[in-house]
Structure 1
Amino acid sequence: MTDQAVDTGGPAKVAGSEEPSGAAPPRFFGRARELKALRADIEHAGLDTLAGRRAARARVLLIAGRPGSGRTALAEELVRLLSDDHPGGLLRARLTDPGGEPVPTERTARELLDQLEVTGPPGAEGDELSELVREALAGRRALLLLDDAVDAEQVDPLLPDDADCLVVATSEGPLTGIPGVRPCTLGGLDAASAVRLLSDAIGEVRITVDPRTAETLAEECGGLPAALVMVGGWLAARPMASVADATKQLRELPDGPEDRPVGGRPLARAFRLVHDSLPPTAARILRLLALAPAGIADAHTASALAGCSVSAARTTLDDFVALGLLRSDAAEQPQYEVPGCLAPLLRALLEATDRPGEIQLARARMLERTVRLLQSCRAATEPEGSPARRRIAGLPRSLRFPEPGAAADWLRSRRPALLASARLAVADGELDTLARRLVSALVRALAVHHGTEAAAPDLYGLHGLVLAVAERRDLPRERAAALLNLADLDAGTGRTRDALTRYRAALDAGRLAKDLYATGRAMESVGGAYAELGDYQRAADWYGRALAQRLTQGERADEARLYGRLGAVHTYAGRYGEALRNWRAAAAGYRRLGDVPAHARALSEAARVQEYAGRPRESLRTCQEAVDWAGRAGDVRLQAALELRLADTFERLGDPAAARLHRGLADRLLKEKGLTCEIRSVVTEN
């Protein structure tokens, strides 16, 4: 998006001009005094400097003003002017949702880490992630733009511990609690800049013929850039209307609710002027954009909300951009954003004008369209003729992706809105079936396009949403699945005790649902968690319970794997007799299944146990058998590792010649395949 677009602060930009959209780059108007004061404040000596100490943290410049005052545009202009002095780059984050709720620190920190190309651990708390942000910014001399902060508690955790960084924050009021912050408070634009903004939108002729009325119109708009942009767009769409016409109609509009602040009334009147002049269909589409997740929409979102065609929706959205009601990026398939200053006005108007049933129906259509797009996005990676591709073949062309790259690009660009859509759908609580389908489709699309590991932070949040719905709707099977997925991610990031708690909760849910897969998986995972914690007795007990269930179900592959897990924990505990019996059972199971590589690995582990038990000659025989099976499997690394183990055993038995022979065999095996010569040991079968 362009830096000077109409945003949450109502920036001053050329919008709704009579030139074609995008014909000229947006320009910044006025605020010269404020810019000078802000730049001077950067050099202002803080308490640390006066005390002779180097500042321990980044300076914070605060731009305060009511919505629509242009605070974000001023912040954008300031960071543009300062960019050359901060080669570490610019990071942006918005700290308030369109619904008015503060964004949690965890989400903001992840957004900043994404821009820094750092992956935070899935499930990490806000404190841990904000610490990662500070570590990543150390020594970078970067700029941070934190837009629309609610309070100091949102900003303080994100401040870099580096005096060379600079933070520019915008807020409606002061950020009490951050030392050394002096707000630059914005009012309306000065009269000359306000009239210039109108002139740039509608041309000079209508301003020149009645300059005093133009100044009066600017006063009626309170000098607020967002209001001026909308009124300018309204006039640009009506070449025969005069500035006096706009002023008269603006004055005749009511102020709205009595509890609305006086300073916010000009923006509300300008918005109503534009909204009430729209055709009924367009006005309804505009109101329904209050439902757009994260305030971000595209043509599909608007089409689904309004029940119209995609092309008609895009034309209407472009008209809204010209009227200053939306801002858009310059992509081939653009996304449109509702300015933060207009979001509450849209929401209030929607609730006052449209019936609850119609609003819920529009929300359901939007979610259903999103599910179909996600299914199509995932299916784009499948080969031609696959069941998934056949299923989407009947969808309209606008819902299909021509190739996997286009699907991946769509998913990447829409990711913030898709995640917000999932959160809002679950929070709504009235469309849980659609919410579950949406989350499921999003999980699958992220996994196939980004990979499970790269998408893990997003997946953690999505599994949490599934858990919330399952608990609300009393769905034990879904609850068990969500708990297992969350526990797996906890275990993968070292939070083993948290994982153990969730695995045991998943076991209870699986038993309640009579889901044998979930209960077996949970028991095995509980055993794995205890093994990770070093409690091998409990690990063996839980693996034994899981094995008993598998034996009753005749699941031979799972039986063999669990025998191997039992063999491993008994080995760690020094119970070599039990370990050897289980590894032999695992080897026999794999042999019956015809899994030659797994059979070879199980034999190699049995040989390891025999060696630990002080039975080197038995270990030699078993190890040689494992070498033969590894050769049949074509597993060169395993063959080489086993040859090295044979060499070590022969050395301990006092036969250096045989040891050299087997080391030479290992070297030749690796060199023939061009593999590394460093083989530590055979990994225990997972």
Structure 2
Amino acid sequence: MAAAGSRRFFGRQRELKALRADIERTGLDTLTGRKAPRARVLLIAGKPGSGRTTLAEELTASLAARYPGGLFRARLTEPGGDPVPTARAAQELLTALGVAEPPGAGEEELTELVRHALAGRRALLLLDDAVDAEQADPLIPDDPDCLVVAVARGPLTGIPDVRPCTVGGLDPKSAIELLTTFTGAVRVTVDPQAAETLVEECGGLPAAVVLAGGWLAGRPKASVADLAKRLRARAGDPLTRTFLLAHEALPQPAARILRFLSLAPLGRADAHTASALAGCSVSAAATTLADFVRLGLIREAGDGQYELPGHLVPLLRARLEEDDRPAEVQLARARMLERTVRLLQSCRAVTEPEGSSARRRLSGLPRALRFPTTADGAEWLRSRQPVLLASARLAVADGELDTLARRLIASLVRALAAHRGAEAAAPELYGLHRLVLDVAERRGLHRERAAALLNLGDLDARTGRTKEALLRYRAALDAGRAANDPYAVGRAMESVGGSYQELGDWHRAGDWYGRALAQRLARDERADQARLYARLGTVQTYAGRYGEALRNWRAAAAGYRRLDDRAGHARALSEAARVQEYAGRPEESLRTCEEAVEWARRARDARLQAALQLRLADTLDRLGDPAAARLHRAAAERLLETESPAYEIRSGSAED
């Protein structure tokens, strides 16, 4: 097994040899004359602390050159022992594979994307700490050139042709070598019999040997025999005994920090997390974390983060429950969430322009909470994203810190949108809006419920799940009415109309746009009125009700004119001209289109003017005046000489 803080690996040579041999061994499919339809699965089974994950990592590292498609890893159990939903594991794999996931996609769609992305790659997949076959099976690639290495407590019954390898304790020689990396050779050499006794008391479990080595490293004058005697005097399994000794040996403040680290999301913490949990300074927390690494209690995870071994989390939580009052534990959670909120606010503020109010507030924060540059903030957000998302999930699941949970989610949404953009961060935002919805429904917060449903509906609509979006918008309408929130009500009605428009139900779309328009008229919201007149004109054009469509397009044009939006006025007139042409009134269409061109000229929008003149030329061609049409096309070309290509004035009807 590997020593803490090093890359050295001890023992397990027999297991490694057997696992490598199993890769080439003939499978059941080959024996029956069929080509293997899926990746081969090697299983490393053992209890927590046996070094099963380290063995899997050593195996995959040694095989990396044979699998040029890359190594991808997913952890299937939370540090506290709860199973990770397969959908979430699939999301992590898709991120590592560089595959964009549709926001709100279900488990089947996500796992299918994973299998498709791995097909043909000749890749390695490490599934760490799988609970059962049902959790792991959907992630196994349908490609015999891939290899899956699964780690679990026991057999994965249900996955065909799994090659199992069960690991227990290390052999005495390897266990003593692992112990020596902490104690140095002298303390073992002077009393080799005591060293053998000590590793025997540890059951050969690498995790127990590491804790024993850390205990000795922290006590240079203590003998190996003394530690073996202390372990022998205690009852319980080897890992629990060595953990209790290590915990009791720590100074009280350090022991408290270690216990509170079990509250850290995903078992990962940095100096800020440890500082907030323990209520100490960031520098003191950083020093303590470095000491814990030296003692074998935690591992460095890169980017200033530290990882608590999964086998220690249940033991630490048991001590936390026994040694610390529930109020203190809850206060520690609240401090951790509050610190995370402040870091997220700082992360977003660094993207704001110099001199902005957000930047001024940022300058007032302690130096430890500030990011020097936008790039520093973006890198922090990228490296902490899994932990931040887990923090949001845990805060919502707690149920007693909903105010902090809502602030955390709101800050995380803003930071993701600022650094990655709403489109790129849509999958994460979808999950965060669902968490907001959970809190809002639990607390009866109708305004927040309406906002979450509207956001989820927008993401559903963007990914083509129009019927699901429609249900969200209708629910948002009910929540908006319960909250007496005119904005949410109007937005929901317009979105319901948009969903019916996407589904091709022009009658219902027009009905809902009309309801939204009536509300905007009552509140004298003129910009929204103009937009809704235009949307009504669009669906009535689709439905072939040209008279109504023309009235609404002219109303939209008048609205944009009152707003002094000359470009919007020109576009509305252009659509009115299109409707007149559909209605068989080409001369009127020509006059309206000429008016639209004049308004585009007044707006000084050369691209829009060029696009309208091209449309005017098409109308003149249909009216039998090719000479005038050529003049307008030439004028459009001159306008575009120094401009980018003209954009199309899209049709309001399929008849275009």
Structure 2 SS opposite 1:212: helix
Q: For each residue in 1:181-224, what CA deviation from the matched residue of structure 2 results, as whole angstroms up to 9, or x when unmatched?
A: 02100010011100111112211111111111111111111111
Matched, 1:292 2:264: yes
Aligned residue number for residue 450 of structure 1? 420
**2:289 aligned residue (308, 317, 338):** 317
Inter-partner Cα distance in structure 2 for 1:55 and 1:13: 34
Q: For each residue in 1:417-470, what CA deviation from the matched residue of structure 2 results, as whole angstroms up to 9, or x when unmatched?
A: 100000000000001111111111111111111100011101001000111011
User: Aligned AA for 2:645?
Assistant: T
Aligned residue number for residue 637 of structure 1? 607
With a CA cutoff of 8 Å and minimum separation of 6, indicate the structure with the bigger relative contact order. Answer: 1
- Structure 2 length normalisation: TM-score? 0.98
- Structure 1 length normalisation: TM-score? 0.94
The Cα of 1:684 is off from its aligned counterpart by 5.8
Matched, 1:95 2:76: yes
CA contact (8 A) 2:541 2:652 kept: no
Inter-partner Cα distance in structure 1 for 2:31 and 2:628: 77
Aligned residue number for residue 330 of structure 2? 360
CA contact (8 A) 1:601 1:682 kept: no
CA contact (8 A) 2:396 2:402 kept: yes
Inter-partner Cα distance in structure 2 for 1:635 and 1:527: 31
Q: Which 5+ residue runs of structure 1 have no aligned equivalent?
A: 1-11, 16-21, 256-264
**2:244 aligned residue (263, 266, 272):** 272
**2:348 aligned residue (378, 382, 386):** 378
Structure 2 SS opposite 1:377: helix
Matched, 1:652 2:641: no
Aligned residue number for residue 299 of structure 2? 327
User: Aligned AA for 1:377?
Assistant: C
Aligned residue number for residue 56 of structure 1? 37
CA contact (8 A) 2:350 2:362 kept: no
User: Aligned AA for 1:68?
Assistant: G
Inter-partner Cα distance in structure 2 for 1:293 and 1:198: 30
User: Aligned AA for 1:409?
Assistant: E
User: Aligned AA for 2:3?
Assistant: V
**2:508 aligned residue (538, 544, 554):** 538
User: Aligned AA for 2:2?
Assistant: K
Aligned residue number for residue 146 of structure 2? 165
Q: For each residue in 1:126-171, what CA deviation from the matched residue of structure 2 results, as whole angstroms up to 9, or x when unmatched?
A: 1001111111112111110110000011111111111111111100
The Cα of 1:300 is off from its aligned counterpart by 0.5
Aligned residue number for residue 369 of structure 1? 339
Matched, 1:618 2:588: yes
CA contact (8 A) 2:46 2:167 kept: yes
User: Aligned AA for 1:576?
Assistant: Y
Which is worse superposed, 556-565 or 200-209?
Answer: 200-209
Q: For each residue in 1:327-356, what CA deviation from the matched residue of structure 2 results, as whole angstroms up to 9, or x when unmatched?
A: 11343xx10111111111111111121111
User: Aligned AA for 1:13?
Assistant: A
The count of corresponding residues between Structure 1 and Structure 2 is 653
Inter-partner Cα distance in structure 2 for 1:440 and 1:347: 29
The Cα of 1:268 is off from its aligned counterpart by 1.1
**2:274 aligned residue (298, 302, 314):** 302
The Cα of 1:99 is off from its aligned counterpart by 2.0
Structure 2 SS opposite 1:452: coil
CA contact (8 A) 2:607 2:645 kept: no
Inter-partner Cα distance in structure 2 for 1:662 and 1:168: 68
Aligned residue number for residue 135 of structure 1? 116
Inter-partner Cα distance in structure 2 for 1:175 and 1:379: 48
**1:339 aligned residue (301, 309, 313):** 309
The Cα of 1:683 is off from its aligned counterpart by 6.3
Structure 1 runs of 4+ with >4 Å offset = none
CA contact (8 A) 1:63 1:169 kept: yes
Inter-partner Cα distance in structure 2 for 1:130 and 1:603: 49
Inter-partner Cα distance in structure 2 for 1:683 and 1:381: 38
Q: For each residue in 1:362-414, what CA deviation from the matched residue of structure 2 results, as whole angstroms up to 9, or x when unmatched?
A: 11111111111111111111122222122233221111111111111111111
Q: Which 5+ residue runs of structure 2 have no aligned equivalent?
A: none
Matched, 1:82 2:71: no
Aligned residue number for residue 576 of structure 1? 546
Matched, 1:682 2:654: no
Superposition map of 1:557-568 within 5 A:
557-568=527-538
CA contact (8 A) 1:638 1:682 kept: no
Structure 2 SS opposite 1:145: strand
Q: Structure 1 635/53 Cα, relative in aligned 2: closer, same or farther at 3 Å? A: farther
Inter-partner Cα distance in structure 2 for 1:432 and 1:629: 52
Aligned residue number for residue 196 of structure 2? 215
Inter-partner Cα distance in structure 2 for 1:670 and 1:392: 45
Structure 1 SS opposite 2:163: coil
**1:237 aligned residue (198, 218, 227):** 218
CA contact (8 A) 1:463 1:485 kept: yes
Matched, 1:124 2:105: yes
CA contact (8 A) 2:493 2:513 kept: yes
CA contact (8 A) 1:191 1:218 kept: yes
Inter-partner Cα distance in structure 1 for 2:162 and 2:611: 63
Which is worse superposed, 195-204 or 383-392?
Answer: 383-392
Inter-partner Cα distance in structure 2 for 1:635 and 1:29: 72
Aligned residue number for residue 491 of structure 1? 461
CA contact (8 A) 2:39 2:145 kept: yes
Aligned residue number for residue 167 of structure 2? 186
User: Aligned AA for 2:48?
Assistant: P
Structure 2 SS opposite 1:183: strand
Structure 2 SS opposite 1:144: strand
Structure 1 SS opposite 2:400: coil
Aligned residue number for residue 498 of structure 2? 528
Aligned residue number for residue 14 of structure 1? 3
Q: Structure 1 468/330 Cα, relative in aligned 2: closer, same or farther at 3 Å? A: closer
Inter-partner Cα distance in structure 1 for 2:54 and 2:634: 70
CA contact (8 A) 1:123 1:460 kept: yes
Inter-partner Cα distance in structure 1 for 2:39 and 2:631: 64
Inter-partner Cα distance in structure 2 for 1:552 and 1:530: 24
User: Aligned AA for 2:482?
Assistant: L
User: Aligned AA for 2:437?
Assistant: L
Inter-partner Cα distance in structure 1 for 2:123 and 2:339: 40
Structure 2 SS opposite 1:148: strand
